[in-house]
Amino acid sequence: MTSEASPAAVGAVAELESLRWWLLRWGPRADSGVILAAGPADDEAASVDVATLAVALPVMALTGDFAPADMQYRMHRELLWDEATGMWAASCSVDEHGAGIGSRPPVTQDATAMVVETLDKALRLGGDAVPAEMRGRWAQQLAELRDALSRG
């Protein structure tokens, strides 16, 4: 019996590593380090999007990149989470430094539900390797988001 990986498995690992490094280094970022949803066009601002977090957080948890995962979570939360409602906005425009520009974006049930799924997935994929403080904070914020969703 051979222990060589199948070509499909080798390809999947290579794709995961490519995505990992795109998230950690190569993807578009503001000066703050927050991953941008896309690089800005000449006539529009860059944006931060909950969908980007939905990719970044689970991948970084799976690959054990917990500090960058938490950094991205915190920066996205600062820009997209609304303390008054406990809900998340889908996206917001940012300047080159990563500061939100314009009016505060509206929160939505869909964006908040996406963050619930993202945190849950990251905690499951990271498993026991997720640092205790981070696990506790993410789990608490996950519970708070579920509560906010149930209140509507």
Q: Identify the pLDDT of residue 40.
A: 60
Q: Identify the pLDDT of residue 118.
A: 98
Q: Identify the pLDDT of residue 44.
A: 73
Ordered mean pLDDT values, 10 residues apiece, the chain (152 residues): 72 88 93 86 80 96 97 98 97 94 94 98 97 98 97 83
Q: Identify the pLDDT of residue 7.
A: 82
Phi, psi of 35 (to 5 degrees): -70, 130
Q: Identify the pLDDT of residue 9.
A: 74
Angle between helices 66-80 and 132-151 (to 10 degrees): 30
The reported pTM is: 0.89
- Give the distance, in angstroms, between the CA of residue 15 and the centroid of all CA atoms in the same chain: 19
User: Which residue segments constitute the domains of the chain, with CATH numbers given?
Assistant: 7-151 (1.50.10.10)
